[in-house]
Amino acid sequence: MPSTPQPSRVSVEERLFSLVLALLASENGLSKAEILSTVQGYRQRYKRAGSNQSLERQFERDKDDIRELGIPLETIDAPDRPGDNQSLRYLIPKGLYDLPPDIVFSPEEVTLLGLAAAVWREGSLSAESRRALTKLRSLGVESNEPIIGYAPRLRVRESAFEPLSQALDRHQIVRFHYLKPGESAPRLRTVAPHAVVLHEGRWHLYAIDQDARASRTFLLSRIVDDVVTVVGGSFDPPEPGQAERALSELEAVWRSNLAEIEIRAGSDAAVRLNRRYGTGSASNERLTFNYSDANILADELTSYGPEVRVLSPDSLRAAVRARLQQVFAAHRGVEGGAA
């Protein structure tokens, strides 16, 4: 008996690009069903008669990704069903990508931009993309073609993201080595992944630790090796709302931690930290802000050296001091060896 062909694998970057392309092309936005059934990376796994819960969760994560990239993904009511959240349509307003009217290019720059646009036209409207737009038109969705000038800034995520997302969709238990701050060596963790969420620009795994038999949150950047599935290890689908619960717990941690720092006026630290936490002015000499991970913040503040002084809390102040002492000891050792 012939085996059922498996859907071709589509990379995260290709799926996000196809999603943005489709949302830019649509004048009136796309419904979730139209996206899942037509867009490259979703349609290969879409079931017309069956559950698409894992695909919908993937779409929710992709929406977060797109917004994190600075792309304005909007939701609008369906014209015939105002106020119905189940019929929302998704749209990226193409006009927001137009250049400001006061920007003028020289003839040489226009020539180079024209060549770049010609090359991009072939890449952004590939055969696969054209087929997707044709399919959208067959559903009665109007689109603008060609789409020129969209260049995706797709960042490289932690290598653990994709295998964890797959394990989450398939309800598989996984193992990985995790290096917790303050520990000298990573420890093996066996977990049932319940959600992968983005908070404060960093990806976190919310999971049930199989040894502790309790929920834990892991920072993906601290996973130090490959994520592997446990043979025969599966778990029942978790209750809905796991991502919301994870984000709520992270938000509570963020609100409970308050830092106060003093910055040297006019320094690089003043410019960068005011842009992140303050008013955008480089003249402010004191900042108070919330944070979720003391070790990450301590690493950042240490990088500014004498331009920053931590006023509170004492634990953050001690963490920065310890890092500065390590830097000093390392440089003193280098100088002593050179002498």
DSSP-derived secondary structure for 239-300? PTTHHHHHHHHHHHHHHH-EEEEEE-TTSHHHHHHHHHHS-S-S---EEEEE-S-HHHHHHH
136 sits in which H/E element: helix 127-138
Would you place residue 190 in the very low, low, confident or very high pLDDT band (cuts 50, 70, 90)? very high
Q: In this predicted structure, what is the pLDDT of residue 115?
A: 53
Mean pLDDT of 114-138: 47
pLDDT of residue 311 exceeding 60: yes
What whole-number distance in Å separates Cα of residue 339 and Cα of residue 337? 5
* Token pair of 204 as six digits: 């976190």
Reference 223, options 172, 173, 186; nearest CA is 186
What is the rounded end-to-end Cα distance, in angstroms, of the chain? 76
- Of residues 67 and 191, more confidence is placed in 191
User: Which burial class, exposed, middle or buried, applies to 223 when counting CB atoms under 10 A from its CB (0-12, 13-18, 19+)?
Assistant: buried
Q: What is the pTM of this model?
A: 0.55
- Of residues 87 and 152, more confidence is placed in 87
Name all domains of the chain by residue range, CATH numbers in brackets: 12-138 (no CATH), 161-238 (2.30.30), 257-338 (no CATH)
Number of C-beta neighbours around residue 312 at 10 A: 12
CB 208 within 8 A of CB 230: no
What whole-number distance in Å separates Cα of residue 26 and Cα of residue 136? 9
Q: In this predicted structure, what is the pLDDT of residue 105?
A: 59
What whole-number distance in Å separates Cα of residue 186 and Cα of residue 208? 18
| b/e per residue 12-43 (b: at least 16 CB within 10 A) | beebbbbbbbbbbbbeebbbbebbbbbbbbbb
Q: In this predicted structure, what is the pLDDT of residue 224?
A: 93
Would you place residue 179 in the very low, low, confident or very high pLDDT band (cuts 50, 70, 90)? very high
Give the DSSP letter string of 106-129.
Answer: -HHHHHHHHHHHHHHHHHHT-HHH
